[in-house]
Amino acid sequence: MLPASLTVDGLKVRIDKKLSNDDGLLAEFLEAALTAAQRPSPLGCGRLLSPDPGPELDEEGNDTSSPVARTIRIRGRHVMVPDAREITGVTVDGVTVAEDAGYVPMERDGHIVRLTLDRECLPGTGYWDEGWWRGGGVPDRRPRRHTVVVTGRFGFADLPQDLVEGIYTLAARGWYEREAQYADQVAIAEGTPIQTYFRQLPPRTRLAFEALTLPRGIGGLS
């Protein structure tokens, strides 16, 4: 699903198209560009840019969409969350925990990207539980695995403007490459310089991705 800030009409303005004959194809280019933007760095920003669920706003602007559940398997205390706009519930191994009593959220760009669970929520995370051994009678010093279910609303409902322009640039490039029959070079018109399509991210797109990429060790889709 496309965020509200990305539209086919917005792409048409940027490639100077007015008729609607190619709207379906332009929508595919825009969706492909959004998918590419979510790839791990450096090819994308590694963030969840598609809203899940899509926002459903009431007359007062409140999101009334039904929250969805994400299941995450962890070792240790950190839970990497795919850009939660809002968290409505957290369970660890089936036991409900509450913010301020069971976990501490970390936010970036207005979204929750990581939860740090209290040690009391995670039996066995120190070294090993009594009687918990691996093969050969050697105590396993690795933290136990735990299943965390995070319920809420995830992904960006609205994208930063620089990222919007970066994604439009990717979609426009896809359109123009198609017009060039996917050639690396094409003469635009007689007497004009040859246009070259470099196989790398456009600078404005790369900078927009870098601005949103999470620092190493925090998390993200990567």
Dig out the tokens for 77 from the structure.
């205390």
With both helix axes pointing from N to C terminus, report the angle between 161-179 and 23-37 in degrees, rounded to the nearest 10.
130
| Residue 56 belongs to some domain of the structure | no
Strand pairing report for 194-196 and 95-97: unpaired
Check whether residue 168 and residue 205 sit in a common domain.
yes
Instruction: Measure the CA–CA gap between 113 and 101, rounded to whole angstroms.
Output: 19
Q: Are residues 148 and 75 in the same domain?
A: yes
Note whether residue 53 is domain-resident. no
- Let me know if residue 1 belongs to a domain: no
- The verdict on 13 and 80 lying in the same domain is no
Sign of CA dihedral 196, 202, 204, 205: positive
CA–CA gap between residue 210 and residue 208 (Å, rounded): 5
52 belongs to a structural domain: no
| Residue position matching structure tokens 């970066």 | 166
**pLDDT value of position 219:** 59
Tokens representing residue 106 in the block:
């970390």
pLDDT at 187: 55
- Domain around 146: 68-154
- Count CB atoms within 10 A of the CB of residue 26: 22
Residues 83 and 136 in one domain: yes
Say yes or no: 164 and 183 in one domain.
yes
* Residue 58 within any structural domain of the chain: no
Same domain for 147 and 178, yes or no, is no
Q: Please, where are the H alpha helices in the chain?
A: 8-15, 23-37, 161-179, 203-212
Q: Give the per-residue pLDDT at 182.
A: 59
127 and 82 in a common domain: yes
User: Which one of 106, 137, 154 terminates a domain?
Assistant: 154
Has residue 217 been placed in a domain? Answer: no
CB 73 within 8 Å of CB 146: yes
The residue among 4, 2, 26 whose CA lies nearest residue 14 is: 26
> Minimal CA–CA distance to 84: which of 121, 52, 118?
52
Is the domain of 145 the same as that of 163? Answer: no
Residue at 59 is within a domain: no
One domain, residues 136 and 75 = yes
Is the residue at 206 inside a domain? yes
Residues 89 and 96: beta-carbon distance below 8 Å: yes
**Are 43 and 76 found together in one domain?**
no
Query: 165 and 146 in one domain?
Result: no
Residue 133: what pLDDT?
Answer: 47
Per-residue tens of pLDDT for the chain, all 222 residues: 788 899 999 999 999 988 888 899 999 999 999 999 999 988 899 999 999 998 887 888 788 889 999 999 988 889 999 999 999 999 999 999 988 888 999 999 999 999 999 887 776 544 334 444 455 555 555 667 889 999 999 999 889 999 999 999 999 998 888 877 655 555 555 555 445 444 577 888 899 999 999 988 675 553
**Total structural domains in the chain?**
2
Domain identity same for 77 and 135: yes
CA dihedral 81, 86, 91, 96 (to 10 degrees): 150
CA distances from 213 to 4, 73, 109, 134 (A): 21, 23, 10, 38
* Contact by Cβ (8 Å): 212, 45: yes
Residue 103 forms beta bridges with which residues?
Answer: 99, 117
Residue 36 CB contacts under 8 Å (≥ 6 apart), including other chains: 43, 44, 170
Question: What count of Cα atoms within 13 Å lies in the side-chain half-sphere of residue 180?
Answer: 18
Per-residue model confidence (pLDDT) at position 91: 94
